[in-house]
Amino acid sequence: MTLLAPKPARLTLADGARLAYRQSPGASPGVMFLGGFSSDMTGVKATALERWCRERGQAYLRFDYSGHGASEGEFADGTIGRWAEEALEVLDRLTQGPQILVGSSMGAWIMLLAALARPQRIAALLGLACAADFTRYLLWDRLDESQRDRLRREGVIRLPSPYGAPYTLTLKLIEEAERHRLLDKSKLPITCPVRLIHGMRDADVPWRISAQVAERLTGSDARVLLLKDGEHTLSRERDLAVLVRTLDELLDGR
């Protein structure tokens, strides 16, 4: 008989929405995974990290933003600011002590915003295919004029995704994200250790985005790891091996 996985736990936000999460106890610093745009906490990287942390005895937490995965809410209501605030609520209310944030794609943008907001809680950052400011170069800049006009008129359009079902793009998401752009800044006051892993064959987010982020960090302990044959998802076995090796080094202070 196949046993069903237990339902995820729920965190109720101030507006009544409930976020789904899964948490494993363990040693400090804890590891908190931040997923990408339109993805969820059941992905390959999130679950592989959970297995690895359990084997190592490290505290671990993964969750879904509102409108994603098992969490409540409509995807179309989401913005970078809202999802960043949700990440901070998860950090503040569900974790204790220092945390290493692991952010994938959009999640790496959100981990940077979280580190700026809660520097005292962040032991280190590990970004995968860091998509800081992606709403401009990956979404808005790729729309043709007819799509932009329709988005301005109707406030929402549906676009195909190479990773599964079409996703909903809202004008609110594009406009609100401008308040959280990082690459326009000359400096990002983040001093904790930062590791940014990026595939040089990433067809969505250019690897130079990770280099631009690293250049702006005020801390000196920042490294960009380029995988020459790596693509955007970084979900192959050899990609995951680099991920856990890098996390292991951060946990050991190397």
**Annotated active-site residue in 105, 133, 180, 204:** 105
202 is catalytic: yes
Active-site pick, 133, 210, 232, 239? 232
Report whether 34 contacts 41 (CB < 8 A): no
pLDDT-derived band at 2, boundaries 50, 70, 90: very low
Task: Catalytic residue, from 64, 202, 204, 239: name it.
Answer: 202
Q: What is the structure's pLDDT at 166?
A: 81
Helix (H, G, I), strand (E, B) or coil at 223: strand
DSSP string, 27-92: EEEEEEEE--TT--TTSHHHHHHHHHHHHHTEEEEEE--TTSTTS-S-GGG--HHHHHHHHHHHHH
Instruction: Please check the confidence at residue 1 and state whether its pLDDT lies above 50.
Output: no
For the residues 133-153, what does the mean pLDDT come to?
96
Q: How far apart are CA 68 and CA 17, in angstroms?
A: 12
- Measured at the CA of 21, the angle between CA 197 and CA 93, to 5 degrees, comes to 95
Residues 99 and 31: beta-carbon distance below 8 Å? yes
CA distance 247 to 18: 29
**Overall average pLDDT of the 84-109 stretch:** 98
pLDDT of residue 180: 98
Higher pLDDT pick, 16 / 198? 198
Question: Across residues 86-94, what is the average pLDDT?
Answer: 98
Mean pLDDT of 227-250: 97
Domains of the chain: 9-132+185-249 (3.40.50.1820)
Residue 165 has pLDDT above 80, yes or no: no
C-alpha closest to that of 125 among 189, 186, 181, 190? 190
> Model's pTM, two decimal places?
0.95
